Amino acid sequence: MQPTEELTIRIGGEAGMGLESSGVGFSKALVRGGLHVFGLPDYHSRIRGGHNFFSVRIARRPLYTHTEPVHLLLALDQETVRRHIGAVVPGGAVVYDEKDGLPEIPRRPDVGYFSIPLSQLAQEKGGNAIMRNTLIFAVAAGLIGFDPTYIEGVARDNFARKGQAVVDANLRVIQAGVEAARPFLADFPFRMEAVPNAPLRLLLNGNQAFAMGALAGGCRFVSGYPMTPGSPVLEWMAGHAEEYGAVTIQVEDEIAALCMAIGAGYAGVRAMAPTSGGGFSLMVEAMGLAGMTEVPVVVYEAQRPGPSTGLATRTEQGDLLFVLHASQGEFPRIILAPGTVEQSFEAGGRAFNFADRYQTPVLVLSDHYLANAVRDIAPQDLDFDAVVIDRGETLTDAELDALEGEYKRHRFTESGISPRAIPGHPKAIYASSSDEHDEYGHIEEDAENRRRMQEKRMRKLETARAEMRLPTRYGAEDADLTLIAWGSTYGPLREAVDRLNAQGRRARMLHFTDIWPVPKGVEEMLVGETVAVENNYSGQFADLLRMATGHTVSRRILKWDGRPLSPEYILHNVKSKT
């Protein structure tokens, strides 16, 4: 059998079967074996029951997205076969537990059905039938010709803390799985062998990458209340807090989370509150407090479908216009929306620099897809040395010593940015009222003062606009079709553009990470047929572009079922309207 260029393996079963942990472990083994992966979990918002699955796309070239076709389906229950048999490509196969059997549905003649006593082998070799998840991935490794020693290495790392007996049990299970695959090798045509001595690569999701970037960018205070899919940022920071001198607090609710972060920001600490849309709803009043007092603070908002609790473990880009207009009144804020693991890391550092430079809230929009999907990257793609901490117009002790007269925290300036003093210096004693105030921060209701103070704050947006990055252009330079993306749609759209150009259609992508204020010069890039591609019902970014630039997109490709966009979905909709 000849190696294939790429393939997708999908494991399915019920919540509680360890699908995500085993899927990530298998992905890690593949990366150690020199292959590129994109791993995507799909799970219900319950601890037990409900159909879950994990897809691992594998290739010899870098991957940026999942795809819909499946080459090997690993079924830990009959429901997996029932739901996913239609996605299996001709020549693909289903591995299922002999104990479970197959559901009473027609068998596809172009698909192989491999019955293996998974529960029995897991019990015999490992002492517990729950180890089927490890065993079935070992079967997959045997079928595709992947060296199982990489899986064994991951097992040693994962279970070392539980003792050698547990490690040995897992190694026996892995070996049994590889052996169980041998009778079926002739019936499965897809191979993906390891690449010996491949360069080291990292396996990360967007949450982990953002947290690493935030830490590198000087974040030393994180307060939050757990809410999927944003709370893993709080968990990651808590796991590294002692090592890097950070403070992490799980508070009683999201109101307290942002208020605490604002307090830390007021005191001069780079502070963040991670959450999701439902949690951010509770933070809205505190957002206004940060805007009025001009305190730098970062909110990481990992989106999921709403309204209310919505689909707690699904994905959507439905909060853009909400975060843009959150809180009463008008005040500046900066919105970033990374689209890749690398961009998530970079956004971590950039967000805190923007917050300090413009003394305003910065919102980083992720979503469940970007937050949880794992992808391999080169270590140098996370350039810690390139992260520069810029505190903006912060007065030094020497400057404060030389200050004549009382310090004006909210001094009127042409840029809108008032020189900031960190509390602690004898000449940096001041108040910042949440009411409208004068230059000293004292409550003031004079109409002329209100006009000038509001203009001062809002001038920050125009100053910041010059710093916002233009969208990334990818694809044909002479394209007559421009697909517009923001945030996590980068990967699916990038691959869709590649496929369109390979088929002779001149297409390109414009991908935005800097959302608000809209970068200068965008108008000149919006030419020809423009199609907005978004993971929401209404096309919120298309509406924002029209509001900011006057450009109306030609049409919109939208998806709002809680599942991410795929290259196949985008291509189908491009072609169906062409």
Domains in the chain, CATH or no CATH each: 6-198 (3.40.920.10), 203-386 (3.40.50.970), 393-467 (no CATH), 472-576 (3.40.50.920)
N-term to C-term CA, the chain: 39
Q: What is the pLDDT of residue 1?
A: 63
pLDDT digits (tens, 9 = 90+) for 33-55: 999 999 999 999 877 778 999 99
Average pLDDT over every residue of 103-128: 97
Q: What is the pLDDT of residue 2?
A: 63
Place of tokens 């992947």: 146
Between CA 397 and CA 99 the distance in angstroms is: 73
| DSSP assignment letter at 417 | P
Q: What is the pLDDT of residue 431?
A: 87
Answer yes or no: is pLDDT of 432 > 80. yes
Which residues share a beta bridge with 274? 300
Average pLDDT over every residue of 94-107: 96
pLDDT digits (tens, 9 = 90+) for 361-408: 999 999 999 999 999 999 999 989 899 999 999 999 999 999 998 999
Cβ atoms < 10 Å from Cβ of 399: 13
Helix (H) or strand (E) holding 216: helix 206-216
User: Model's pTM, two decimal places?
Assistant: 0.96
Place of tokens 């949450």: 207
Residue 122 CB burial class (10 angstroms; 0-12, 13-18, ≥19): buried
Q: What is the pLDDT of residue 578?
A: 53
| DSSP assignment letter at 428 | -
Between CA 93 and CA 9 the distance in angstroms is: 10
Mean pLDDT, all residues of the chain: 96
Average pLDDT over every residue of 175-190: 97
Q: How many residues does the chain have?
A: 578
pLDDT bracket for residue 575 (50, 70, 90): confident
Instruction: Please report how the helices 447-465 and 341-358 are oriented relative to each other, as an axis angle in degrees rounded to 10.
Output: 150
Q: What is the pLDDT of residue 94?
A: 98
Q: What is the pLDDT of residue 49?
A: 79
Helix (H, G, I), strand (E, B) or coil at 455: helix
Q: What is the pLDDT of residue 519?
A: 97
What are residue 275's phi and psi, to 5 degrees? -165, -170
pLDDT digits (tens, 9 = 90+) for 504-550: 999 999 999 999 999 999 999 999 999 999 999 999 999 999 999 99
